[in-house]
Structure formats: C-alpha cells, structure tokens
Amino acid sequence: MSDTMNAPTGTTTGAGMGQNSSAPTWLRVLLINSPYILIYAATIWLVALTDSDPDKASKYWQYLLPVVGLVSVIGGWSQTRISRARYLTQQVLHWGALMLVTFLLFVPTMEHFLDAQTHGFVVAYMLALAAILSGIYLDWKMGIFGLFLVGSAVGIGFLNNNAMLLTLIGIGMAGVAVTLVVRRGARD
C-alpha cells in the first residue's frame, strides 16, 4: 500500500487508495495504519488478561502470532527491494519458525515445565524478538511494536497494580501515535 505524493497537485496516488483519492490525509493514514492499532490494543488486552486469567490468555497469545505476522508482511510489502516471491518465502519462514517454536512450547508434555502465566510471558518475548527483527529488516513500525512488546512482557512480571497497566496503555498510545504521525523519510 505504497502511496506517493504528486508535488503539483498534492493528491496522493497508490495501490490502496485509488489514483486520485479525495480522502483526507488523516483518514488515509488511519486506514493504512489501522492494523498496527489493532495489534497494540490486542497486546494491552492480552497483558491484562495474562495477569487475571493466564490459562485463557496463553491461548490468545498464540492467536496473536499469525495476526502480527500478517501485519508484518503487509507492512513490508511496499518496502521490499527483492522479488515478491522471495519476500513472501522469507516472511513465511520467519513467522513460521516463531509459530513452530510456540507450538512446541504448548505441547502437553511441556506444560509441566511452565505455568500458564509463564507461557504468556515467554510467547510475548518471542513475539517481541520476531517483531524487532522484522522491523530491523523491513518495516520500522513493526520494530517499534516489538519494543513495545518487550515492555509489555516486562509489565507482565510487574502487573500487580493498575499503575503498570496504565503505563503500558500510555506507552502503547505513544507507539500508535508514532506509527500514525511519523512518515517514512522521503518515501523510500
């Protein structure tokens, strides 16, 4: 969904919005970045759920993995400098490896090593690492989300009071703001 700005007319053209979109800039930015808003909100909810109902949360952490992977693939699609087939292969291997390791973590014979809250904690860290690496190589927004996930995983350990949850919400809102406001420099 790469948009380019036409200097003389000020109109935006791109794959996602049509040739001459009359939608306001704030709406285009919101639509393009709404997947990121979704994963930030889901992460905040999962951190709170991990503290209150770890058994339920560990299952939802597993569901978040392919969603974040899909957002990563979409986010880096327009920025890749390699062939689309190679890009998709690399992304499938990257996120598939994470999902395989997570699946192995949740095999019933492994569950006696970790309790449900620890499962959520470990999955959050693994997802954070995968998102940071994706951000380094393709989409900086995914890297910022990965850093937020690291903070969220740390927050799971200290989430004995509402102050930490409110702090995470504030940091998440800051991450969303950065994602929405900061534009790629010179539209690589």
Measured in whole angstroms, the distance separating CA 188 from the mean position of its chain's CA atoms is 21
Specify which of 8-17, 23-32, 74-83, 98-107 reaches the highest per-range mean pLDDT. 98-107
The per-residue pLDDT for range 38-59, each reduced to its tens digit, is 898 898 888 878 877 888 888 8
Task: Report the C-alpha gap between 81 and 75 in whole angstroms.
Answer: 13
Q: What is the pTM of this model?
A: 0.71
pLDDT at residue 48, rounded to an integer? 79
The per-residue pLDDT for range 148-176, each reduced to its tens digit, is 888 888 777 766 655 566 676 777 777 76
Answer whether 145's CB lies under 8 Å from 175's CB. Answer: yes
Distances (CA, A) of 73 to 68, 78, 115, 142, 152: 9, 10, 32, 10, 22
Q: Where are the domains of the chain?
A: 25-187
When comparing pLDDT for 91 and 157, which is higher?
A: 91
Answer whether 35's CB lies under 8 Å from 72's CB. Answer: no
94-111: average pLDDT: 87
CA nearest neighbour of 131 among 177, 175, 184: 175
